[in-house]
Structure 1
Amino acid sequence: MTSVAVAAVVASDAIVLVEGECNDDGTVTVIKDETFDLEPGDRRKAYAIMATRIRDRLKNGIDTVILKASSGGQFAARTAVLHAAELRGVFLSAVPGEIEVVQRQKKSVSKGRSRKVDDYLKDDAFFGDKFDGIKLRKGSREAAFLILNEIDD
């Protein structure tokens, strides 16, 4: 049985979304690869616009959303880190209630694998074997990998 998932990686001013169909053979067919940029200006207003965009984008045909979760660092949070956390909250609140949401920290995705996530992200052959469909941007590989990780779990 195939399912459609959207994976999201949130930065301080943008959200990378990859939509993919999970195939029975352990591969992912990439349907969409897009970036939603935060509107310039007042962040409160920009967050409201982003929430509407996310809600509209996810309202049809999505079974699961996989979000790269924040992880506590050993250093004090910089403004960009805090803004990313705020935008992650906006994203989570905008996901329609009927969609399953899972959050995965990068370090937990690496556990149980033979390599670290960053090593997979650099591997063109790996991505060629595991992903088909539309061409995936290199900057979207982390989001795509989150979908693949859910198939392998």
Structure 2
Amino acid sequence: MAERIIGLSASKDYVIYVDAEVPDDEDSPITILEDGNWKIHRGDRSDAYQVLHQQCSDYIREAAIDKAVIKASAVMGRGAAKLGMLHTAEVRGVIIAAASSVCSVTQMKKAVVSRTYGDRNVDDYIDDDAFWDEHTTGKKLRKMSREVAMLVVAARNKS
């Protein structure tokens, strides 16, 4: 039976989501059902986060998503955290809370996907049009969404 998985990645200004139907057979391509963004509303961030939480949890509930895979935080060099990085972490927290209120949630680091999936790093897969033609059907993925879709591909059939 196919599993419905949503991949999510946060930034300070928006969340990229990729909603996919993932078949049990690992040789079968995943079907991309939706590929979009949820923008963070301007103005008071606490109000914007409440809207984002509702938007994310409503989508996951209404789409009957089985599992969410969220791009995890990663250490970015040395020095003090910049405000944009802190806002991104806040947005990530909001989507983790929203998704976990409806379905199971897994966080994945891009570096871990590079080490554990296939024989190339994530960036090589992102740039490989033939890979995406072979491993996905349904809606055409935007290039900016391929990293999020890679989380779904790497997470298939894992608890």
TM-score scaled by length of structure 2: 0.91
Structure 2: stretches of 5+ with no match in the other structure? none
**What's the secondary structure of 2:68's corresponding residue?**
strand
Number of residue-to-residue matches in the alignment? 153
After TM superposition, the structure 1 = structure 2 runs for residues 68-107 of structure 1, keeping only pairs within 5 Å, are 68-75=71-78, 76-107=80-111
CA-CA distance at 1:97 after TM superposition: 3.0
> Is the aligned partner of 1:21 residue 2:25?
no
Distance 1:16 1:73 in 2: 20
CA-CA distance at 1:74 after TM superposition: 2.3
Distance 1:87 1:98 in 2: 17
Kindly tell me: are residues 106 and 14 of structure 1, through their superposed partners in 2, closer, same or farther at Cα, counting changes over 3 Å? Answer: same
After TM superposition, the structure 1 = structure 2 runs for residues 52-131 of structure 1, keeping only pairs within 5 Å, are 52-60=54-62, 61-75=64-78, 76-112=80-116, 113-131=118-136
Distance 1:98 1:7 in 2: 14
CA-CA distance at 1:19 after TM superposition: 0.3
Q: Is the 8 A contact 1:51 1:93 kept in 2?
A: yes
Corresponding letter in the other structure for 2:72: A
Q: Is the 8 A contact 2:60 2:102 kept in 1?
A: no
Question: Which string of whole-angstrom CA distances, capped at 9 and with x for unpartnered residues, describes residues 51-80 of structure 1?
Answer: 111111111310000000001222232111
Q: Is the 8 A contact 1:26 1:152 kept in 2?
A: no
Distance 1:70 1:87 in 2: 11
**What's the secondary structure of 1:31's corresponding residue?**
strand
Question: Which string of whole-angstrom CA distances, capped at 9 and with x for unpartnered residues, describes residues 22-52 of structure 1?
Answer: 1223421000011000001111111111111
Structure 1: stretches of 5+ with no match in the other structure? none
